[in-house]
Structure 1
Amino acid sequence: MDTVRDILQIKGNLVYTVCPETSVYEALETLENKNLGALVVLEKCGKLDGIFTERDYARKVILKGRSSKETMVQDIMTESPTFVTPDTKIEECMQLMTKKFIRHLPVMDNDELVGIVSIGDIVKYIINQKDFIIEHLEHYIVS
């Protein structure tokens, strides 16, 4: 059965993070510059503190009339985010994302952040796996 580890082996372990004290404006600049939908929020000691998403910004800054330059990420981030491990099955990730209406899952291994997977990563992985199987079946049939 395919796991998060399989996705990370293809996509890599690079995770963009911010500190809770970062301004929302700076976090938005990072999202824009890196073409991301979310940033993991880490305490100075490296402990997972939350996740900051475009949805957090839209719902907790724009709609509330707050200033993105004066508001800190810690004030609007999603605290205690749902996370997975490298051994979590991809199907379980899909169930979590659907049930909790989330698009990003930090990947933790022994209390250490080792990656992040998005719904896009999962869909891409599943499509590639299906394409691989179809290609091999076609080759088998022709042979």
Structure 2
Amino acid sequence: MGTVKNLLQKKGTIVHSVSPDSSVYDALEVLESKNLGALVVVEDQTLIGIFTERDYARKVVLKGRSSKDTLVRDIMTDRPIYVTPDNTIDDCMQIMTDKFIRHLPVLDNSKLVGVISIGDVVKYVIEEKNFIIENLEHYIVS
């Protein structure tokens, strides 16, 4: 099984972030324009939280708050669970399953170097399995 580093090499390391003092509405615009389900919340180049569609649904919509009047810092998940480039894909799947989360920031020596989603993990696993199957088929035919 591969590592987060392997996954990021294929996916890329572009990280979309938001300031804790941004309005929820502005954060939602970024989510929509980038077709994302979460944004990391960064202050002074440090990861301080994560803002997800789930945060919006549960902490704004269901509470009757206004997305234009609510700040990201008021509803974000602070101290998010994260992984490092050395974590395995199996580690990530276990964390996501156990904690019921769909996004994991990736920190390397406290520096934010990426974000992976459950979709990224599933895609990586499928590609890895297909590669193994192709090699086995080639071996059998040879």
Partner of 1:15: 15
Give the corresponding residue for 1:58.
57
AA matched with 1:82: I
TM-score in terms of structure 2 length? 0.99
1:137 and 1:99 mapped to 2: Cα distance? 33
Taking every aligned residue pair, what percent have the same amino acid on both sides? 68
Give, in whole Å, the separation in 1 of the partners of 2:102 and 2:88.
16
1:108 and 1:11 mapped to 2: Cα distance?
16
TM-score for the superposition, normalised by structure 1 = 0.98
What is the identity, as a one-letter code, of the residue corresponding to 2:30?
Answer: T
Taking the aligned partners of 2:129 and 2:88, their CA distance within structure 1 comes to 17
Q: Give the total of aligned pairs.
A: 142
CA apart distance, 1:2: 1.2
CA deviations 1:79-134 (Å, max 9, x no partner) are 00000000001111111111110000000001110001100000000000000011
Mean alpha-carbon deviation: is it higher for 59-68 or for 132-141?
132-141
C-alpha displacement of 1:19 = 0.4
Distance 1:142 1:96 in 2: 39
**Deviation beyond 4 Å, 4+ runs, structure 1:** none
Q: How does 1:51-130 map to 2 (within 5 A)?
A: 51-130=50-129
* Cα distance in 2 between the residues matched to 1:63 and 1:115: 30
Deviation, 1:39, is 0.1
